[in-house]
């Protein structure tokens, strides 16, 4: 799974993740359709559409028409810190810190004492036009230094961090004053005064690696959810669509509730599916028939039973790393899996001899949410919520099983080729 590590390493933000999905699609002959243009869709078309540069939906249409859509969805974003505008905060004329805010619900302590870099998107004035550019400092640039244990004796018994003070990264000494915007402009290859908008995030440049006596584990930043993006992309680009139109959907903003124009709680998927059918001259009822015979595999990582907190997991459903792709259920329907979608998914996994495990929240523990039930509200199709078992979800660096990704790729390929 060196390819997975390479993919994540090249994807410090949702913008870069989508750019890398796009590049992989283009290498396989996929063409870009823009939302603002007319779509020349035909049977056999292979294309993709982006929204906001941070979400992307790709289609591989069978040559002889299709019965429904086989959709696989995952998310491009991971918890991080967003750099605010005018970020420099000078401390006693000696240090410059950057003013940042939380993006998503991360384990704060994991962001301390590791080299951090800055990446994201800037919008630049070029003549009369506004042009978007990706930037990635791609060097160790900042650090959020801990306070010594001597000054904070209670740290190891639980400490309430102030995001507005404790988590601000150190950008430099006194010479760094007034240079952050210049630094970003230089990275973007433009003049500082021409940058009119910025979406910049901190990220760790730590590279993914194998760990464990037999390299059982992958330790890497952003496994949630780029491991699922990677598996979906690998299965998608390695499959032929037959009776169903293959759809790969990667959404931004899952970590902040998906409620943006490009998130799973937007019209992006619905709009795109409709436009494909419209371009193929489907009637409204033909469109609805197609939707009724469609399926969504919503892929977002799952919690493996943690040896240090085994009681937090459900007593009978015990997913472990490397023991199979995890099918996620929730009584409150935070996960959209039901008997019908579960049966379909299990049968699919069985067809490629990939093991499946099951996840429920322990009934006394509030769990997280994901994409499945949110996108189902817009495009009402049978949905299985699945994921890869991992530890330390939302840590700056997470741990998962090295075998599980391979299993998921096999399942995705079989799904698209049904």
Least CB distance from residue 208 to Co ion, whole Å?
17
Question: Kindly report the CA angle at 313 between 79 and 208, in degrees rounded to 5?
Answer: 40
29: left (phi over 0), alpha (psi -120 to 50) or beta: left
Question: Does residue 300 belong to the site contacting Co ion (CB under 5 A)?
Answer: yes
Least CB distance from residue 228 to Co ion, whole Å?
8
The Cβ of residue 244 has, within 10 Å, a number of other Cβ atoms equal to 23
Q: Give the range of 29-37, 79-87, 294-302, 358-366 binding Co ion by CB under 5 A.
A: 294-302
SS (H, E, C) 97-138: EEEEEEECCCCHHHHCCCCEEEEEEEEEEECCEEEEEEEECC
> Which residue, 313 or 388, has its beta carbon nearer to Co ion?
388
Rounded CA-CA distance 204/364 in Å is: 34
Least CB distance from residue 277 to Co ion, whole Å?
30
44: left (phi over 0), alpha (psi -120 to 50) or beta: left
Distance, C-alpha 348 to centroid of its chain:
24
45: left (phi over 0), alpha (psi -120 to 50) or beta: beta
Least CB distance from residue 393 to Co ion, whole Å?
7
Least CB distance from residue 263 to Co ion, whole Å?
13
DSSP 274-327: HHHHHHTT--HHHHHHHHHT-EEEEE--EEPPPTT-GGGB-SS----TTS-EEE
Site string for Co ion, 129-168 (x = CB under 5 A): ----------------------------------------
For the four alpha carbons of 262, 264, 268 and 272, in that order, the dihedral sign comes to positive
Whether residue 204 contacts residue 28, with contact meaning beta carbons closer than 8 Å, is answered with no
Q: Which one of 19, 187, 199, 224 is in contact with Co ion (CB under 5 A)?
A: 224
Q: Which residues contact 36 (CB under 8 A, 6 or more apart)?
A: none
Rounded CA-CA distance 14/251 in Å is: 9
Least CB distance from residue 93 to Co ion, whole Å?
42
Helix (H) or strand (E) holding 272: helix 268-279
Question: Does residue 398 belong to the site contacting Co ion (CB under 5 A)?
Answer: no
> Which residue, 173 or 257, has its beta carbon nearer to Co ion?
257
> Which residue, 55 or 241, has its beta carbon nearer to Co ion?
55
Least CB distance from residue 178 to Co ion, whole Å?
38
Q: Which one of 19, 77, 187, 225 is in contact with Co ion (CB under 5 A)?
A: 225
Q: Give the range of 1-9, 138-146, 224-232, 330-338 binding Co ion by CB under 5 A.
A: 224-232
> Which residue, 379 or 386, has its beta carbon nearer to Co ion?
386
> Which residue, 77 or 187, has its beta carbon nearer to Co ion?
77
Q: Give the range of 11-19, 223-231, 241-249, 358-366 binding Co ion by CB under 5 A.
A: 223-231
Least CB distance from residue 366 to Co ion, whole Å?
16
Least CB distance from residue 371 to Co ion, whole Å?
8
Rounded CA-CA distance 342/386 in Å is: 10
- Residue 248 three-state SS: strand
> Which residue, 74 or 276, has its beta carbon nearer to Co ion?
74
> Which residue, 180 or 359, has its beta carbon nearer to Co ion?
359
Residues that contact Co ion, how many (by CB under 5 A): 3
- Residue 233 three-state SS: helix
Question: Does residue 252 belong to the site contacting Co ion (CB under 5 A)?
Answer: no
Q: Give the range of 11-19, 25-33, 300-308, 318-326 binding Co ion by CB under 5 A.
A: 300-308
> Which residue, 78 or 322, has its beta carbon nearer to Co ion?
78
> Which residue, 124 or 392, has its beta carbon nearer to Co ion?
392
Contact positions toward Co ion, by CB under 5 A? 224-225, 300
């Amino acid at each position: 799974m060196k390819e997975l590590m390479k993919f994540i390493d090249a994807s410090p933000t949702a913008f870069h993740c989508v750019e890398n999905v796009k590049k992989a699609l283009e290498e396989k002959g996929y063409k870009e359709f823009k939302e603002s243009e007319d779509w020349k869709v035909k049977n056999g078309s292979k294309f993709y559409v982006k929204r906001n540069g941070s979400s992307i939906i790709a289609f591989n249409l069978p040559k002889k028409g299709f019965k429904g859509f086989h959709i696989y969805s995952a998310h491009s974003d991971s918890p991080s810190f967003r750099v605010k505008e005018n970020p420099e905060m000078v401390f006693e004329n000696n240090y410059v810190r950057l003013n940042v805010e939380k993006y998503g619900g991360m384990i704060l302590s994991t962001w301390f004492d590791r080299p951090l870099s800055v990446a994201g998107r800037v919008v630049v004035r070029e003549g009369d036009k506004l042009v978007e550019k990706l930037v990635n400092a791609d060097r160790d640039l900042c650090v959020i230094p801990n306070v010594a244990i001597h000054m904070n004796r209670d740290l190891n018994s639980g400490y309430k961090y102030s995001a507005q003070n404790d988590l601000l990264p150190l950008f430099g000494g006194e010479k760094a004053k007034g240079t952050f915007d210049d630094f970003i402009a230089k990275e973007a290859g433009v003049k500082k005064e021409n940058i009119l908008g910025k979406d910049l995030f901190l990220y760790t440049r730590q590279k993914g690696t194998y760990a464990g006596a037999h390299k059982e584990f992958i330790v890497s930043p952003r496994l949630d959810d780029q491991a699922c993006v990677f598996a979906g992309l690998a299965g998608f680009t390695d499959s032929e669509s037959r009776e169903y139109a293959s759809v790969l959907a990667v959404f931004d903003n899952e970590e902040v509730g998906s409620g943006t124009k490009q998130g799973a709680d937007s019209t992006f998927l619905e709009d795109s599916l409709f436009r494909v059918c419209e371009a193929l001259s489907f009637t409204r009822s033909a469109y609805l028939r197609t939707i009724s015979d469609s399926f969504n595999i919503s892929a977002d990582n799952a919690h493996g039973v943690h040896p240090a907190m085994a009681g937090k997991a459900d007593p009978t459903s015990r997913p472990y790393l490397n023991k199979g792709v995890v099918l996620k259920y929730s009584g409150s329907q935070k996960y959209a899996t039901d008997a019908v979608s579960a049966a379909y998914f299990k049968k699919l996994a069985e067809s490629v001899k990939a093991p499946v495990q099951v996840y429920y929240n322990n009934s006394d523990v509030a769990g997280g949410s994901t994409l499945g039930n949110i996108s189902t509200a817009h495009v009402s199709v049978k949905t299985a919520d699945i994921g890869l078992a991992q530890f330390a979800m939302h840590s700056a660096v997470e741990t998962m099983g090295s075998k599980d990704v391979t299993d998921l790729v096999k399942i995705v390929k079989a799904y698209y080729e049904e």
